[in-house]
């Protein structure tokens, strides 16, 4: 049998090497666009992300913004957030909730959880939550953004997610979100700030990105026309207590979280509103509370 020439062997080696280089380049390109943090291990099959609307300029006025302790502001079309890279989640999100928006026909709920391209240091990814036992809990609720396809889509950025105990996310947290929509209809519009309490020791970390599991969450509401305000701080756990048991003033929430809420709106004479709390101005649906106890907490 004739021997292969040296040139033939060299050609095979060259082609094999070229194939390896091209394969490596293809793998690198795939990783760059697969929505995972650099160096993150492959934990499961990848699925192609659906096409989503492109973000436009933010409609959230800067005078609504709380103080950012990180300086990492990310502006989306209908909400703005301050990202805490140390905890791989927002320290707060802020947006306006109006009666008119809630009265719009709701768009189909999105399911496109994905990294936030607006986070300079890279946000957490959906895989950080896989198998963790925690829900990807919305800070800005999807239902509050259901008036518009773009608004709904942007609410599924991972920067808007935080690890929540399932019975908390689907229980008292859900009740508070639904109460907030009731109050927005009553007052015509609300300014809403929501976030994790990162000044308390958390419940550990999850995922390759080491996402902090917060011990508690806050929600601060301001009705500017009626000059009413209220704040809530709820532990990240299943709860049977009435939601109003966790109500307090803005000043109380500021002391607990180390944040300054509405510094541009509540200054001068209006600063007194931070210590004001009129529980009668914030009625609660008792039927919904009973439903939480009987149904939501048991899921």
Which entry of 76, 87, 138, 189 is annotated as an active-site residue?
Answer: 138
Is residue 189 annotated as a catalytic residue, yes or no?
no
Q: For residues 110 and 151, is the Cβ–Cβ distance under 8 A?
A: no
Q: How far apart are CA 153 and CA 111, in angstroms?
A: 8
Cα-only R_g, the chain:
24
Residues involved in catalysis: 138
């Amino acid at each position: 049998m004739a021997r292969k020439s040296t040139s033939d062997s060299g050609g095979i080696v060259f082609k094999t090497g070229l194939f390896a280089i091209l394969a490596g380049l293809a793998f690198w390109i795939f990783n760059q666009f697969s929505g995972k943090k650099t160096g993150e291990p492959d934990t499961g099959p990848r699925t192609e992300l659906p096409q989503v609307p492109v973000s436009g300029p933010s409609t959230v006025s800067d005078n609504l913004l709380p103080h950012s302790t990180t300086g990492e502001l990310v502006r989306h079309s209908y909400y703005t957030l301050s990202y805490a890279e140390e905890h791989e989640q927002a320290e707060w999100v802020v947006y306006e909730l109006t009666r008119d928006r809630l009265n719009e026909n709701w768009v189909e709920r999105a399911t496109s959880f994905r990294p936030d391209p607006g986070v300079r240091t890279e946000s957490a990814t959906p895989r950080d939550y896989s198998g963790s036992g925690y829900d990807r809990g919305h800070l800005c609720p999807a239902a509050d953004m259901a008036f518009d396809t773009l608004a709904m889509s942007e609410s599924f950025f991972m920067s808007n997610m935080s690890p929540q105990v399932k019975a908390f996310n689907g229980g008292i947290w859900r009740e508070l979100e639904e109460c907030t929509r009731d109050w927005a209809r009553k007052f015509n519009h609300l300014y809403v700030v929501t976030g994790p309490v990162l000044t308390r020791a958390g419940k550990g970390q999850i995922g390759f990105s080491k996402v902090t599991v917060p011990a508690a969450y806050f929600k601060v509401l301001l009705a500017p026309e009626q000059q009413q305000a209220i704040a809530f701080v709820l532990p990240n756990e299943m709860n049977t207590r009435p939601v109003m048991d966790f109500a307090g003033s803005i000043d109380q929430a500021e002391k607990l979280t180390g944040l300054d809420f509405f510094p541009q709106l509540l200054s001068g004479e209006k600063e007194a509103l931070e210590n004001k709390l009129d529980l009668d101005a914030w009625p609660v649906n008792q039927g919904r509370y009973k439903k939480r106890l009987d149904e939501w907490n048991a899921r």
